[in-house]
Structure 1
């Protein structure tokens, strides 16, 4: 093999390694914050969200029909589980930039969705939002901020 062939192969390997490094993130201490907030998000499912209906009942659609929970709190429960726990765990495990980006952007959307769910409960005239729903929205906001800070640190 000639010197030019070896040099070309080395450059190709170096470029491939550089692309792989750019695809990865290192959350550092933020990983601990994210994991802790994800744990609090799980605990939120055990707290009341609307009236006396707890989060997992809202998520599964098993809340008392008399509470008239509506679509928005349930949609927030589903999406906060998918984005907050699913995307978050996937991003922490794989440490891929694109998954962290999706977790951050989707987290922002779900946070606004949660704020609209709180507003819908406050204006419904029925049972208002409880501590679990409010805390879950705060958790999603913290997760979104943490993921976006990690993503922006790579830019």
Structure 2
């Protein structure tokens, strides 16, 4: 009789442990493909022009105004590295980190587009390049996907 109770208690502990482990994991489903394509778009945007003739890699390495450089780092770290890590590990906390980094990146990206169009003189700025616009759109797509995945547990 006592052995049955010990077996049931052990089984209950094991079930609880599996439940806690499952609660920490995410399943992006078909959204993983959209995230992968958006990450690829961010990487592709780095070889396209961002500010004037400067490519995204040149902006990333410091040959640009401050705000596009901040956006390039946030897009690379939050949009590419953190997304890849979150898809590989499938942790709920990483989905939130990705969502928050992509939110910061989308704000910085929209402000980067705005600052490339404005100047203090009467002449217009160089305007955003195709790569900058592509990167901002990709980061906004990543934001929506990661936010949807992170909010699915609430």
TM-score (norm. length: structure 2): 0.92
Q: Any residues of structure 2 matched to 1:6-25 within 5 Å, and which?
A: 6-25=7-26
Counterpart residue number, 1:79: 74
- 2:150 is the alignment partner of 1:151: yes
Asked if the contact 2:74–2:104 (Cα under 8 Å) also holds between the matched residues in 1, the reply is: no
In 2: Cα distance, 1:106 partner to 1:41 partner: 14
Q: Any residues of structure 2 matched to 1:25-40 within 5 Å, and which?
A: 25-40=26-41
Please list every run of 5 or more consecutive structure 1 residues that lacks an aligned counterpart in the other structure. Answer: 64-68
In 2: Cα distance, 1:79 partner to 1:6 partner: 51
In 1: Cα distance, 2:130 partner to 2:87 partner: 27
Counterpart residue number, 2:85: 90
In 2: Cα distance, 1:17 partner to 1:2 partner: 23
Counterpart residue number, 1:54: 55
Structure 1's consecutive aligned runs of 4 or more residues displaced over 4 angstroms after TM superposition are: none
The alignment partner of 1:49 has SS state of strand
Counterpart residue number, 2:95: 100
Aligned residues: 149
Please list every run of 5 or more consecutive structure 2 residues that lacks an aligned counterpart in the other structure. Answer: none
**RMSD of aligned Cα (Å):** 1.2
Counterpart residue number, 2:127: 128
In 1: Cα distance, 2:89 partner to 2:17 partner: 18
TM-score (norm. length: structure 1): 0.91
In 1: Cα distance, 2:51 partner to 2:65 partner: 10
Q: Which moved more, 1:111-120 or 1:84-93?
A: 111-120
